[in-house]
Amino acid sequence: MHRRLATGLAASALALMTVAATATAATAAPADKPQVLTSWTQTGASSYSVWAAARANQTAWSSYAFDWSTDYCSDSPDNPFGFPFSTSCARHDFGYRNYKAAGAFSANKSRLDSALYEDLKRVCAAYGGATKTACDGTAWTYYQAVKAFG
């Protein structure tokens, strides 16, 4: 009788531990989260495009528990002089928030700020003449601000 009870208790405990381990594994972020974060915060246009596609389909990335929140360009205009900078600012926020949460912000800040500047310059590339010059100047100003105060 005692042996059957002990065997039953041991089997129950093993089953409970298996369920608990599975539940913990299901809620933990995937092991490649740092690599994904790094790939989405590079200066190149392809990094921006992949991040933008993921942002448009955040539920597919929910297991990674990324912080997608944004205040866009903070206290600066999101679309200064009509230049659409808001999505570039959202990616910059994404990098800042997620690297801060990972405890790796200071090691990545310079690259995140450079990525913002490259994103803004790609926005400006759609313009020509004096409008492009004004956009490039505004992008430079935003970049200098985040370098100094971001």
pLDDT in tens, 39-55: 999 999 999 999 999 99
Range scoring the smallest mean pLDDT among 16-25, 63-72, 133-142: 16-25
For this structure, is 92 an active site residue? yes
Is the pTM above the cut of 0.95?
A: no
Map residue 104 onto helix, strand or coil: coil
Q: Mean of the pLDDT values across residues 19-39? A: 74
DSSP code per residue over 42-102: SSSHHHHHHHHHHHHTGGGGGGG-------TTTTS-SSGGG---HHHHHHHHHHHHHHHHT
Task: Give whole-number Cα distances, 9 to 2, 22, 40, in Å.
Answer: 10, 20, 48
* Spatial contact of 60 and 54, defined as CB atoms under 8 Å apart: yes
Residues 6+ apart with CB under 8 A from 87: 52, 119
Q: What is the pLDDT of residue 28?
A: 83
Assess whether pLDDT exceeds 60 at residue 6: no
Distance, CA of 26 to CA of 61 (rounded, Å):
13
User: What is the per-residue pLDDT across 86-117, written as a single tens digit (0 to 9) for each?
Assistant: 999 999 999 999 999 999 999 999 999 999 99
Q: Give the Cα separation of 90 and 68 in Å (integer).
A: 8
Of 12-16, 61-65, 127-131, minimum mean pLDDT range: 12-16
Does residue 145 carry a pLDDT above 50?
A: yes
- Catalytic choice (92, 112, 120, 146): 92
Q: How far is residue 84 CA from its own chain's centroid?
A: 20
Residues 54, 49: Cα–Cα separation, whole Å: 9
